[in-house]
Amino acid sequence: MHTVLGPTTKRQVAFVGPLGVGKTTAVRAISDVPVVSTEVMRSSVAVGPRRETDKTTTTVGIDYGEWVAPDGSRVGVLGTPGQLRFASARASVVARRASIVLWGYGDRSETVDEMAEWLLRIGDEHVWARTIVALTRREGRDGEPDIAEYRRRLGRFRADMPLVEADPRERDDVVRVVMTALDLDEPQRPKPAEQPEPAEHPEHPEHSDQSTQETA
């Protein structure tokens, strides 16, 4: 029998992105516990044209799963609705300190614009600092869009925003995505050496150790 002491999940990763891209699929692929889902039949909520998938359900609240990381810690994995009208469910997740995975359709060039729209929708640079972009459906694409095109566009939001290719149906892929997203959560993440320091921040406080002290 397992006894759980203290908070069960200290860290959380939230999946956001367009309708049908694979957020619920990814939560189910990685979760080590039965996923609590908020899916309904699509016919019971008008969702407009289907996008390249014949799935019949859509998320209207939050999907909740848990993943046990290699160090034994439990990570909460949250799937949000892709439909824009359920913005409040998404906002409640983004407002937490969760790391965010923005999933996108990797097989069409509109996604480059769509990812930019989603980044604006979910917040500002504080949110983008804990966001990575994951592209699905790279296996069947027709040669474009080039990954470099995404990189160029995302670079306007944050120079080193991680961009990965992943199939939400594959647990190993989702684990890699979640670990990449959790890496962003480190309070003292070192800056890549090649990133020039922006000129408008000429000085750092002497005590550059900015470790969080909230548990003092």
Ligand X SMILES: Nc1nc2c(ncn2[C@@H]2O[C@H](COP(=O)(O)OP(=O)(O)OP(=O)(O)O)[C@@H](O)[C@H]2O)c(=O)[nH]1
| Sites of contact with ligand X (CB under 6 A) | 19-25, 53, 55, 58-59, 79, 81-82, 136-137, 167-169
Q: Considering CB distances under 5 to 8 angstroms, the limit depending on partner class, which of ligand X, Mg ion, none binds residue 90?
A: none
Q: 65 touches which of Mg ion, ligand X, none (CB within 5 to 8 A by kind)?
A: none
Residues 6+ apart with CB under 8 A from 56: 41, 42, 43
d(CA 115, CA 112): 5
Please, what is the minimum distance in Å from the beta carbon of residue 66 to ligand X? 17
Instruction: Retrieve residue 122's tokens.
Output: 């979910």
Q: Considering the complex, what minimum distance in angstroms separates the CB of residue 25 from Mg ion?
A: 8
Angstrom distance (rounded) from CA 123 to CA 131 = 10
Instruction: Find the part of the chain contacting Mg ion (CB under 5 A) among 51-59, 134-142, 165-173, 207-215.
Output: 51-59
* Binding residues among 59-88 for Mg ion as defined by CB under 5 A: 59
167 contact partners, CB below 8 Å, separation of at least 6: 22, 136, 137, 138, 139, 173
Please say which residue, 39 or 107, places its beta carbon nearer to Mg ion. 39
Positions touching Mg ion (CB under 5 A) are 23-24, 59
